[in-house]
Structure 1
């Protein structure tokens, strides 16, 4: 009996030391050694918007498989320790300028499996530390001039399984660290090949 009581007390203590004091609604917060801070797990939370109240030391946010459709300017403002943000498999269709403003430590951004059709000018401004950007399985048709402007540390860009028909000149400008570009254009290559080649020249000059 004594051993069982001791085991329960030890287990309870370990659990309590993992959970942080403040946590957004419908999420779980745990200390993690992966990024030396707090991981906020909101996956499958039936959320329709990005919650508030993230701990100051949040370094990993998982908002995958929710029902979030829009993200406004400065949605994640103040989360200067955030390194990984998973927004995959929501219903996001638009991203405003400055959506990710202030995320100066962000290294991985997962936006796969949403409903993004157009990436305009400057949605990723301020993500100077970003190394991996996953935009697979969206409905992207257009990438404007300066789409990835400011992503000077980006090494991997995944655009696989989209419906890209328009790539404006300068869409890839500024990707000076890019090593891997995964892309599959579902289009009439004969019609668009020259505009695509002209846009891609920014990666090799």
Structure 2
């Protein structure tokens, strides 16, 4: 199967996101744009995770899901994004990370582990008081099949290479966990 995906989306529980951004709307617009896989976004938010659990069903043990009620062929991957805020060297770092989970149950386990670092109800993309290596450890301890990678890597704020709060190297950010990072999201603002 050829995969055309957008795994970096948000729910109505994220700031600056339409309140109409539900799973059915994601499927409708993903279909219009030629996508066959779309992220759920924001799996760390407890209320959104309830909606995900209610509205989708497993699509043959592939780690992908389909709407329970709908004619769309789009499949969903359980995804989220978090903002880590921490000190490194003389600088405060604020880095956004994408999270991919193989199942809703894995998303539950990840969320349970991350709750100690911040208020997951505050935003679909919560701010966590954790370093990037701590985030990787917590996510992979919850489920080894999860994936963590930096989001919108070159935007000035909230990114791994951002001019205002980022790093000069990938290894400085993830340290000895760098070998566990398999992707990098460049973002729409990359040129």
In the superposition, the TM-score normalised over structure 1's length comes to 0.26
Which of structures 1 and 2 has the larger relative contact order (alpha carbons within 8 angstroms, sep 6+)? 2
Higher helix share goes to which structure? 2
Higher-Rg structure is 1
